[in-house]
Structure 1
Amino acid sequence: MQISPEDKKSLLIFLGSLTGGGAERVAATLAGYLSKDETFDVTLVTLDSKNRDFYTLEEAVKRVAMDEAGETAGLIKFISNIKRVAKFRSVLKVEKPDLVIAFMTRYAVIALLASMFMKIKVIVSERNYPPYRENHGMWETLRKYVYRFADLHIVQTKLIADWIRVNTKAEAVQVIPNSITWPLPKLPPIIKPDRVLNEDDRIILAAGTFKHQKGFDLLLESMKIVMKESLNWKLVLLGDEKYTDELTKIYNDFIALNGLTGKVLLPGRAGNVDDWYERAEIFVLSSRYEGFPNVLLEAMASGCACVSFDCKTGPAELIKDGKSGILVPEGDTASLAEQILCLMHDDTLRKRLSKHAVTVREAYSEEKIMHIWRNQIRETLQGSP
């Protein structure tokens, strides 16, 4: 059936950048999925430039970069943020979307302010547990008052949904977890495990952006205990290069001071993370907070035996404790070390957890989750979210 141009709806996805990260991955996946629907025209807009893109988009997705990246927090940046709102409003006037999907607090606030009185519907998607997310007070205040004007909020867990309803007075809130693309795609840069590891190395893997939220400092504290009893086990931290200079130095200093040199490896950012999941026997999530951790979802889908802090939110939704993984009290580094050691020494337990972990491939399949997104978008466009 041929769709006339008049019947097509224009969708605009807005976020800070397409550099590596969970929200960026979801946005790129969603844009690609929706672009295959002949009833939609899809544009993806970022505050940042295209030069720092990590994720690639389907050819049918129009890419617009505002080239307005930079610090968005602090009163000293107030004027810059007003300019960003004005510039995004100009983008909206050019692109004329029927609906905007804005990811993460700051960009959602910009979208809601910029689209006022333009008869554009807006879906907001928070990607972390809001009380723990590090936002400047200005953004916290604006979120409190403008979020209620969104046509729909899409969040990853019930706990986040409850927070949004109570703290922003938003009424239309839907829970949609993240999806898993299987098999996992390969992206540059490629770092082959056999270039970093010895053949007999046994691997504990952690991955994510090198920032405070991800708790790699807590994981390294646990490693001080774990590595006292290890033989040929090594911890590999796959990190994000945009945070490398500052935090890699901190981590390397800790590693050197605590006798972990050669036992904890920081190879950098790898786009072939599937090869690393395949090589690893244990995966650890040490985050202080999350929304719905993609790396944990990927590790489980890859059959790793997973242990995670029971942080807000996501791990408890993904892991059935003791069946498909192990949950550890949030921030308890001694308990984390204990459970990692338990997995290291128990082949049967690792295999059992692995067997049940891979069921997430079906439960959170891309087709299933993206179909829910598409339905919510259609209902919002019809005026009944």
Structure 2
Amino acid sequence: MKLLYITNAINGSGGLERVLAVKASYLADKMGYEVHILTLNGGDKQPFYDFSQNIKFHDITVIGNPFNYLLSYRAGIKKTVKKIQPHIISVCDDGLKGMLFPVLFGKKIPVIYERHVSKQIENSTGSTSLAHSLKIKLKFAVMNVAGSKFHKFVVLTEGNLKEWKLNNIVVIPNPLPFNSGECATLTNKKVLVVGKQSYQKGYDRLLDIWSLVHDKFPDWSLEVYGKLNPTLGLEEKAKQFNIDKSLKFYPPIKDIQAKYKEAAIYVMTSRFEGFGMVLIEAMSYGVPCVAFDCPHGPADIIKDGEDGFLVANGDIDTFAAKLMALMENKALRQQLGTNALKDVNRFNVNEVVKKWDDLFQSLVHLK
């Protein structure tokens, strides 16, 4: 079966890129799919993650004002689709142009939309102005209509499912990207966070939490890996809180597995998510997680009190208390970490990609 993924880029270090690398490579190497990936303005940029050598890559250039951009986007994709003649097209683009794919290109070929983030991302600045609210409502209306045009609309969690009023929607979680069989010892006094610096990831809240924790556990450190954003002023805020000696920000690294293995606790302070890939990555090393119960993802992954802790979104004090409970109690870390290692198996790549294969096969048979 010929499968064409269409996405903006694969050179980033985000969850979408990670998931695409895992899924596409498995389908190409293990299930005999002829997998193609089409990117925009990629040029000679290399993927951040490793993709199978059996995958065929394509790239188109889209430039100019919005009108010319759309024209070059449409022409480039039509040319590529004509060349490949795929049996299935899967659109991995959370932008509006991705949502409008069936409108722009029709539905002669079965087309799937993969939604990798909560609708909350449309309010990524936290603005509460009336004009901004009206803009979001209008955009949501357009997105709901556009989403109904796909053969299937795939979201990652049960929480995401509730955001959309669609009859063509289905839930398929992200697959676990690695399963080394190794476990963290949970003895290093390190707390780990992975993700780009942004409003979404809530690192301002992370600093508030660490400021409550630091004085009581001065021998612990907090390490944050992800794309840096100096405009957020996080390092300056850390200095103001006098926590800069125990908290360090690092750019993304490819061998993030080594950092999971070194960690004793993983925390997620996001305001919203599409899934929470980093949670299952940490759990695969037996690292217990503390996360805000944000929309959406953590509640689908963490069993509160069994393999980690879920905290009401924005409750800084309770989050700090749960984190400190793990920091001071190695036995609790080990108990939750052991359960996490078992529970995370439900995201095994074999099981998750089997769901994708079933979906693809069902759509091909509709033709």
Normalised by the length of structure 2, the TM-score is 0.88
- Please give the secondary structure, in 1, of the residue aligned with 2:45: helix
Per-residue CA deviations over 1:75-96 (Å, capped at 9, x if unaligned) read x735423432333223222222
CA distance, structure 1, for counterparts of residue 105 and residue 304 of structure 2: 44
Match of 1:23 among 16, 19, 22: 16
Are the aligned partners of 2:23 and 2:175 in contact in 1 as well (CA < 8 Å)? no
CA distance, structure 2, for counterparts of residue 352 and residue 374 of structure 1: 35
- Corresponding position of 1:154: 154
Residue 314 of structure 1 and its aligned partner are, at CA, apart by 1.2
Match of 1:57 among 51, 59, 63: 51
The correspondence of residues 140-289 of structure 1 with structure 2, limited to 5 A, is 140-164=140-164, 166=165, 170-183=166-179, 202-240=189-227, 243-247=228-232, 250-289=233-272
CA distance, structure 2, for counterparts of residue 123 and residue 231 of structure 1: 50
Are the aligned partners of 1:297 and 1:360 in contact in 2 as well (CA < 8 Å)? no
CA distance, structure 2, for counterparts of residue 245 and residue 64 of structure 1: 33
- Corresponding position of 2:99: 109
Per-residue CA deviations over 1:302-353 (Å, capped at 9, x if unaligned) read 1112111011111111111101000111011121111111111112211111
1:307 aligns with 2:298: no
Q: Which amino acid aligns with 2:259?
A: W
The correspondence of residues 349-360 of structure 1 with structure 2, limited to 5 A, is 349-360=332-343
Are the aligned partners of 2:4 and 2:88 in contact in 1 as well (CA < 8 Å)? yes
- Corresponding position of 2:62: 68
Match of 1:36 among 29, 39, 44: 29
Q: Which runs of 5+ in 2 are unaligned?
A: 125-134, 182-186
Are the aligned partners of 1:86 and 1:114 in contact in 2 as well (CA < 8 Å)? no
CA distance, structure 1, for counterparts of residue 120 and residue 27 of structure 2: 31
Per-residue CA deviations over 1:130-150 (Å, capped at 9, x if unaligned) read 244448758645423221110
- Please give the secondary structure, in 2, of the residue aligned with 1:51: coil
Are the aligned partners of 2:61 and 2:72 in contact in 1 as well (CA < 8 Å)? no
CA distance, structure 2, for counterparts of residue 377 and residue 201 of structure 1: 44
Q: Which runs of 5+ in 1 are unaligned?
A: 1-8, 71-75, 186-199
The correspondence of residues 315-354 of structure 1 with structure 2, limited to 5 A, is 315-354=298-337
Match of 2:276 among 286, 289, 293: 293
Are the aligned partners of 1:238 and 1:268 in contact in 2 as well (CA < 8 Å)? yes
Per-residue CA deviations over 1:234-292 (Å, capped at 9, x if unaligned) read 1100112xx44434xx1111111111121101122121111111111011011111121
Normalised by the length of structure 1, the TM-score is 0.84
CA distance, structure 2, for counterparts of residue 204 and residue 61 of structure 1: 36
- The total of aligned residue pairs comes to 348
CA distance, structure 1, for counterparts of residue 103 and residue 281 of structure 2: 35
Residue 47 of structure 1 and its aligned partner are, at CA, apart by 1.7
Residue identity (%): 24
- Please give the secondary structure, in 2, of the residue aligned with 1:358: helix
CA distance, structure 2, for counterparts of residue 48 and residue 161 of structure 1: 32
The correspondence of residues 72-151 of structure 1 with structure 2, limited to 5 A, is 77-106=66-95, 108-116=98-106, 119-134=108-123, 140-151=140-151
CA RMSD in angstroms, aligned pairs only: 2.4
- Please give the secondary structure, in 2, of the residue aligned with 1:149: coil
Residue 159 of structure 1 and its aligned partner are, at CA, apart by 2.5
Relative to structure 2, which stretch is displaced further, 49-58 or 30-39?
A: 30-39
Are the aligned partners of 2:213 and 2:320 in contact in 1 as well (CA < 8 Å)? yes
